[in-house]
A and B are shown apart, each in its own frame.
Chain A
């Protein structure tokens, strides 16, 4: 079984279901909880907080979209490609704005990753070859728990046969001592917002100069390991993007030292679809296929451009300032997803869906863009997100 719990898409899960008591071998706790949640905290179909049939909720959604002057579609980072494609179709039909989580974090980096201007490799290459890995502003042990055991640190690879102690060198760079930093061989603490200075210090070290800031000995030491690397990979997460803003220089340096770059983010699959179609990964107005910063979820909810929004499995309200998230109450908001959460709570219409990769199948991209097919393992009465979106599309 394939796990869609994060963009590692682990493919070695052993699933057993005996009288609704499930046993899952090999999945991490995050992945297991996602599967085990099939009978917990499920979303209840409702219109304006009143329980309603799914058909009624879907019909009401169709009515809203028909009468809407401008609508938006948000989310789908956690959905399968089939549902993502369907949401694009729906958006084109309604001339909606389409946006996703990458407009909040990580967008610029993902854009560069997808336009082919950074060196990348597959996770299988990482496992077979990587001897130096750097985790900058990301904490895969918390967000992608099996990344290091499956690919980047602990496994034996074709050209890394001697095990992690001898064969692999790891460095965590973060604002705090994260779980990842607990196990990497070196940890460099960087104050929030000062990644860029650290990055310049690295640049100095790598060109043979003394660094101007930071723990000089540590930086020199790490610099030497980077220079000696035969196959280096930098994993980058939200933390870095947030504090450095503009990443061109950073990406150039990584390219210069011959390292590969891998974003550790979950929206990459949907971003790839959008990029292939429109050359943008978020904040796109499907009416004229244009991109504008004003089309990001933050600005949309802040402003008054839209009167309705359809959100698919993304608890965006938990990430936005409450003042902004509250706006969902004032417009026609529809939430589609398997579980109830803050975003669903604030939305006017709730349409429950199956859990993708558990109660319905579908395809998805791993973080390195390898495509995997997830199968359904539990029967349920819930419609898949693909089915819900296509029914809405047909009704329009």
Chain B
């Protein structure tokens, strides 16, 4: 079995959802239910499922942003907020510890590491600042300060800088 360090803790997400008594049905009820496929999903129900699992975001459903669905949208934003907050503390970064051998390529390639640690990571050395995201310890890379990751938060971007240089594909963001 793979020894994985899940930074995104799936248990936490279901906990949030459960605590808010949120089910796909409740989300579905507030969606346009036209199965227009604008969001890229086959049905509105499928979209609801994906929202709950953080596999997509509300803004993919463009009709919701029309005047007609204003109330529903507001309500959805409200009930999805705990999930969105979960999103704020996690980026979905997964490190497969069994594959990582601590080469440090990702450490040196991560733009945040480079910016935070000009005398260390930026020039190829190991992390010398507490503010970096990726750091190798005991031969394996560890992630910290996840909130600084470019994939984090409202203005997140699809950064790939730590994934591409990994020779063993030890880092991944399941779901893209």
Contact = CB atoms under 8 A, between A and B. Distances in A.
B167 A180 contact: yes
B105 A154 contact: yes
Contacts, number: 106
Interface stretch (B74-82, B86-94, B124-132): B124-132
A23 B137 contact: yes
B114 interface: yes
Contacts of B123: 127, 155-157
B122 A156 contact: yes
B128 A29 contact: no
Given A146-B104, A149-B107, A25 B125 contact: no
Contacts of A154: 105, 108-109, 124, 165
Contacts of B36: none
B23 interface: no
B140 interface: yes
B124 A28 contact: no
A149 B141 CA distance: 13
A179 B168 contact: yes
Interface stretch (A30-38, A39-47, A71-79, A243-251): A30-38
A156 B128 CA distance: 16
9 contacts: A10-B126, A14-B126, A26-B125, A28-B136, A29-B140, A32-B139, A150-B124, A151-B124, A153-B165
A149 B139 contact: no
Interface of A: 10, 12-14, 23-33, 36, 127, 141, 145-146, 148-151, 153-157, 163-164, 179-180, 182-183
Interface in B116-160: 120, 122-128, 135-140
B167 A150 contact: no
B103 interface: yes
Contact of B101 (A28, A127, A150, A183): A28
Contacts of A28: 101-104, 136, 139
Contacts of B138: 23-24, 32, 36
Nearest to A151: B124
Contacts of A155: 108, 122-125
B127 A149 contact: no
A258 B168 CA distance: 33
Nearest to A181: B167
B103 A148 contact: yes
Contacts of B108: 149-150, 154-155
B120 A12 contact: yes
